[in-house]
Amino acid sequence: MPSVNAYGMITEPDASIPTACPKSRQRLAVIALSSIVLLSIITVSILATHFGSNSGPQDPNTTTAATATTLRSSIKAMCNGTLYPDSCYASLSPAVTNYSGLDPAALFRFSLQAAKEAISSASGFFDDPTVRAAVHDNFSADSISDCKQLLTLAATHIEDCFSSGDFTNESFIDDLKTWLSASITDLHTCLDGLDPKLNELKARVAITMKNSTELTSNSLALLRQIEDFVSPLKFRRRRLFGEHPPWMSSADRRRLTSSSDWSKKANAVVAKDGSGKYNTIAAALAKVPKNRSKRFVIYVKKGVYYENVRIETSMWNVMIVGDGMDATVVSGCLNFVDGTPTFSTATFAVFGKGFIAQDMGFQNAAGAAKQQAVALLAAADFAAFYHCKFEAYQDTLYAHSLRQFYRECNIYGTVDFIFGNAAVVFQSCNILPRAPLPGQQDTITAQGKIDPNQNTGISIHNCTIWPAEKLASPLVYLGRPWKPYSTTVFMRSMIASIVNPAGWLPWNGPGAPVPATIFYSEYSNFGPGSSTKKRVKWKGLRVMDSKQANHFTVRGLFGGSSWIPKTGIPFSSGL
């Protein structure tokens, strides 16, 4: 995240946050009109695609000029429902010569292919010798390396979207939305993390990545249109309620929830005193098979492990379990002030899907004066944390992307200490603001939703907001909007008196404009700091009923009832 000055504001205004929304309102009107036009077209096409047609296969040679004209008009109508209609139409126009009729699923995959090629082109830019020649310090070099990694992640998520599936299947649509949302987040994280001193190079990168960011956004918007029009068909779920993904067997669950000695049932044991096979977590991870379908358990005995750990994308279904959140601690001290980009400061970074951590502590010990210093970065799908502690100051917990769940964890920090753009639920956790630097104000969350079609947001559910130490005055805010569609809710949580009556803080400090497109809400909270009578009067601060609040539960936000049960972690699926 951008650096902050003495009271937690960024050093430069974020130009991406609009101060007014007339264009947004105009775009919404266009989208609404386009949706009406598309209603019959897409519904009939999806029905024909899914249920078959009695007319038999069409001869491509019989495609007439009138058919091509109709297809162009239909594509234009679909593209008018995206944020970038010009690039959408340009990328889909070649489809007119490849298809004899409107097949929304085929057009969606056509748009995915365009996004994939654009990301590949942008990734190649960073291999250009002139780019490397423009970099003269370690921070800039690291930010370029981060971009390469992030574009690789974005390409992987796009590739996932090519998996075969049924567009009347709710779980399939959820997966596609999640992967596209993550890809968009990856691309923007690259742009956000580039060294501000690289003015000319940063401008070149922004131009180079324009196609990839726009085309990926367009693919998500097209998917949303398909979802909207097939939903009346009554979605079928790929995984029935209560079923679980194949990467966690019943035997795994029994092993994880039993109370027997971890040293006997783990695949690898790490111990500082030499009583395990490995002395470091990194050494144990080196033995994890790639893309493993079964759980690989690493037991880390008590002690403080001074290392920066990465769970790579190829390390599937890893579980790390310790002797307690205060007994087994992973500690690092990389930070922004000393020359490391925020994305690379994490003491513990998770990219491999199906990850579980239990009874572990994660710490960045750089200190408050070092600004951004991440304890945990999670960019992994189906990631879960149970009985864990996350301890730092600014940017403690980076819930970067994909689907994540945290249960009964302790989270300490000052500025934006829960941030990112994942679909994430924190349930029954203790959120513990620490004393900020003089002149600073604590902000618990900074959610980074960039695109209105992303299925992301931070949900704080049944948690306790309590001071980690004595705080001089109520200088704690529930959050501030990092991006234009920032989405954060606090539900059924105990809020102590440390929270400022205004509740929320603009990104650029008191009195600064706030985009009307954010979604912030408080639902059925209690405690001396929960009163909403003196809250800020922002258009984006919403009042939810129970139906809306259910959207931000484990079941509603990311279908957690289908994958959390076999982790062995307790959870509440609803409010």
Cα–Cα dist 569/404, whole Å:
13
What pLDDT is recorded for position 290? Answer: 95
Answer yes or no: are the C-beta atoms of 223 and 180 closer than 8 Å: yes
Nearest residue to 380 via CA among 293, 458, 451, 317: 317
What pLDDT is recorded for position 169? Answer: 84
Domains and CATH numbers, the chain: 66-233 (1.20.140.40), 262-566 (2.160.20.10)
Contacts of 283 (CB under 8 A, 6+ apart): 270
Tokens 């040679």: give the residue. 61
Q: What are phi and psi of 337, to 5 degrees?
A: -60, -35
What pLDDT is recorded for position 307? Answer: 98
Contacts of 117 (CB under 8 A, 6+ apart): none
If you write DSSP's letter for every residue of 10-74 in order, what string do you get? BSS--TTS-S--HHHHHHHHHHHHHHHHHHHHHHHHHHHHHH--TT-PPPGGG--HHHHHHHHHH
What pLDDT is recorded for position 258? Answer: 55
What pLDDT is recorded for position 250? Answer: 55
Which residues on neighbouring strands pair with residue 411, listed in sequence order?
Answer: 390, 431
- Helix (H) or strand (E) holding 349, with range, is strand 348-350
Cα–Cα dist 112/13, whole Å:
33
What pLDDT is recorded for position 238? Answer: 45
Give the other-Cβ count within 10 Å of 224's Cβ.
20
Contacts of 78 (CB under 8 A, 6+ apart): 34, 38, 42, 88, 92, 104, 107, 222, 225
Digitized pLDDT (tens) for each residue of the chain, 575 residues in all: 654 433 333 333 343 333 344 454 445 444 444 444 444 444 444 444 444 444 455 555 554 565 667 778 888 888 999 999 999 999 998 877 765 556 778 889 999 999 999 999 999 998 888 887 878 889 988 999 999 999 999 999 999 999 877 888 889 999 999 999 999 999 999 999 988 777 788 888 899 999 999 999 999 999 999 888 777 655 555 443 333 444 445 555 555 555 457 888 999 999 999 999 999 999 999 999 999 999 999 999 999 999 999 999 999 999 999 999 999 999 999 999 999 999 999 999 999 999 999 999 999 999 999 999 999 999 999 999 999 999 999 999 999 999 999 999 999 999 999 999 999 999 999 999 999 999 899 999 999 999 999 999 999 999 999 999 998 777 899 999 999 999 999 999 999 999 999 999 999 988 899 999 999 999 999 999 999 999 999 999 999 999 999 999 999 999 999 999 989 999 999 99
Answer yes or no: are the C-beta atoms of 291 and 314 closer than 8 Å: yes
pTM of the model: 0.88
What pLDDT is recorded for position 298? Answer: 98
Q: What are phi and psi of 262, to 5 degrees?
A: -60, -30
| Three-class DSSP category at 467 | coil
Nearest residue to 396 via CA among 415, 421, 424: 415
Q: Could you tell me the sign of the dihedral formed by the alpha carbons of 19, 23, 27, 33, in that order?
A: positive
What pLDDT is recorded for position 4? Answer: 40
E runs forming strands in 392-539: 397-399, 403-407, 410-413, 415-420, 423-427, 430-433, 442-447, 457-461, 464-465, 476-479, 487-491, 494-495, 519-523
Q: What is the DSSP letter of 526?
A: B
What pLDDT is recorded for position 522? Answer: 98
If you write DSSP's letter for every residue of 277-335 in order, what string do you get? SBSSHHHHHTTSPTT-SS-EEEEE-SEEEE--EEE-TT-TTEEEE-S-TTTEEEEE---
How far is CA 315 from each of CA 158, 353, 401, 535, rounded to the nearest angstrom? 19, 7, 17, 44
Nearest residue to 88 via CA among 216, 275, 175: 216
Catalytically annotated residue among 103, 416, 442, 451: 416
142 is catalytic: no
Cα–Cα dist 558/292, whole Å:
23
Structure tokens of 121? 């082109």
Q: What are phi and psi of 160, to 5 degrees?
A: -60, -35
What pLDDT is recorded for position 46? Answer: 44
> What type of residue sits at position 431?
I
Contacts of 4 (CB under 8 A, 6+ apart): 10, 11, 371, 394, 415, 440
